[in-house]
A and B are shown apart, each in its own frame.
Chain A
Amino acid sequence: MKLDGRIDVAAPPGAVWAVLIDPLSLAGCVPGVEAVRQVDDRTFEGEISAAVGPMSADFIFRSVIGRADFPTDLEVTTTGSDSLTGSTLTADVHAGLEAPDAATTRIVYRADVRISGRLAILGDMVLRATAGLIIGEVARCLRARLETAAGPGSG
């Protein structure tokens, strides 16, 4: 499953990058992600709790920052499994930062998500819809946080 899109934030690339590269900071902007803990400077873990109808599951994941070249390339590989079906998920996410004008940073992202096991029965529907909502929330959160911080007088 491939997801791509862009998020425009009215803040300088350095400020946006600083949030994206810091898992604990970014996690505050990703709804549904809980119990985030940093394993080392490139690795973090967390959980997402989801339910489909009467069935609920915890999804435990580990993310590793594979490449971090400011400001063009941030690559994160996430692997995880769910407590309901024991299926595994691998997601390779690439984010690049562009500056379409002096006041805006554009995050251009693309993700390749692979699900193996029974989660794939529901996976596309659940993941696409959940990713759609989460990305919308991340965009709102980044804007709220950075556009306020980068407002008049903040430099």
Chain B
Amino acid sequence: MSAAAGYDLVVVGGGSSGCVIAARASEDPARRVLLVEAGPDPRPIPDVIANPKRQGEVILESPYVRLYEVERPDGSTFPLIAGRVMGGGSSVNNLSVIRPLRRDFDAWARIGGEAWSYESLLPTLRAIEDDPDFGDQPIHGRGGPLKLVRRWKLDDPADPPVEALMAAAEEMGLPRCDDLNVPEPFGICASPYNEVDGKRQSVAVAYLEPARGRPNLDILADTTATRLVLEGSRVTGVELLTPDGPRSVAADRVVVSAGAYESPHLLMLSGIGPVDAIEAAGLRVRHQLDGVGRNFQDQAVVYLTFQGAADFHEEYLIPKVRLIAKSNAALDYGDLHVFLHPAITVRGLAPLLPVSVRLLDVRSRGRVTLASPDPLELPAVDPQVLADPADVRAMLDGMRFVADLVAHPRMAPFYGDLVTPGAGEDWEAFARASHITYNHAVGTCRFGPADDPLAVVAPDLRVHGIEGLWVADASILPVIPHSPTNVAAIMIGEIAARNLATADAAAR
């Protein structure tokens, strides 16, 4: 297709939302669509991405992630991780297919209205998936693009430490939960994963691949959107930095789907956002929107590490069993994910066995802002993880739950004494100094009504005050779900595609 003709739709970001939007929008042959991805689009998909057993390598060794180094209060640093390859997070995550909880939809509907309720979006969740185990149930789907598999089910044999964990958790009152995607999952859960015949089903595979041959869909990889082109209060195109140099494309509509770090980054580079952030970078404010970059949320993760009495060969980061537990018995929902991790072995030392506590409730709010007017420089991220005292209290309760769980007699053959935090160490200081995150950043372009001072987009995902501009990725969620965010991001892609089609129909 001739780029000179311009596009009906440019999608910036080939992640879990953007690939869905590009695929759905190009189903209409009359709509000319361009998908822009900053990272590569390697085909055939390299084994390090496709092979679930190599997920640890994707994160630790591959060029397909981008790291945002952030500081803890004590000055130590750790990286936040985002996918930077076609498929985005779905190409580098641990493949789990976990829906937001009903209470998350309730929270979104309170801000965004009925369109964000569980009942309204259940048909979308069902349409996304192809669930071979529960697909016939009213809350599940068959035949959708995303193939699920439960490689292991709760009644299948497991490694002795996993069996011990399940027995200990059951004796501590956690129920068995065969289906992690019921509206309010709780207890000892077997995770579903998106793979077929041992190959990862990222959105690049499940959604984009079948759309690639369409004459009305162009794909530009290794291409960074550097600025949105605005005429008055209307977006008219995007400036790009392609492998062949700078290029500008005209568009009737632009959807920014670059994720919770890069979507607010592109808006601010384009002069859309808080005045202080834009002017501090020496750029001109085109449209003040105070919520851009604010309201950052990610779930805190703290590891407790025990002396190991036995080696342990679980796959790194892809647990068989995910415990959904409560930090406080009075809660009516699970606010923790707990995983066992494989042994750390240092030659000459006894093995160490880490157990992670992942706090799903997030009351703390951070910020993404401009570090530089140069679009190739990363934005600055101040995540403020565990900044809220209630988050710290819940994390400490979660750590105590794990310590009690591991001290259960069933676990004794495998797990010895707690090594870190060490004897006499202040657990709060330990959590503040050693936490990382679950890497599920959301919130930095949150939806809400126009009179909400922190709302960036309307509940239908159009940017407030700019015609033709939409944001559609996890950044639009005003409140982080009690789950990983890949399914939510795919759902947001489906919602955006539907809303764009409705807008097109209205314009005709």
Contacts and interface: CB of A to CB of B under 8 A. Distances in A.
Contact of B56 (A31, A53, A120): A53
Given A2-B433, A121-B78, A129-B420, A54 B342 contact: yes
Nearest to B430: A128
Given A48-B346, A55-B56, A133-B352, A114 B67 contact: no
Given A55-B60, A114-B76, A119-B60, 18 more contacts: A1-B433, A2-B433, A34-B347, A34-B348, A49-B346, A50-B346, A52-B56, A53-B315, A53-B341, A116-B69, A118-B59, A118-B60, A120-B69, A123-B78, A124-B433, A125-B344, A129-B352, A132-B420
Contacts of B56: 52-55
The 5 A-B residue pairs with the shortest CB-CB distance, nearest first, are: A53-B342, A53-B316, A129-B305, A31-B348, A125-B303
A25 interface: no
- Considering residues B53, B69, B343, B434, which has the most beta carbons from chain A within 10 angstroms of its beta carbon? B434
Interface size range of chain B in the complex: 35 or more
A130 interface: yes
B215 interface: no
Interface in A111-154: 114-116, 118-126, 128-130, 132-134, 137
B87 to A, nearest CB: 20
A51 interface: yes
Interface of B: 53, 56-57, 59-61, 67, 69, 74, 76-79, 81, 303, 305, 307, 313-316, 341-350, 352, 354, 419-420, 422, 433-434, 436
Nearest to A50: B346
- Considering residues B53, B77, B350, which has the most beta carbons from chain A within 10 angstroms of its beta carbon? B77
Contact of A129 (B59, B344, B348): B344
A137 B352 CA distance: 14
Nearest to B342: A53
B61 A84 contact: yes
A85 B60 contact: yes
Interface string A53-86: 1110000000000000000000000000000110
Contacts of B342: 52-54
A124 B345 contact: no
A14 interface: no
A24 to B, nearest CB: 16
B315 A51 contact: no
- Considering residues B57, B61, B341, B422, which has the most beta carbons from chain A within 10 angstroms of its beta carbon? B422
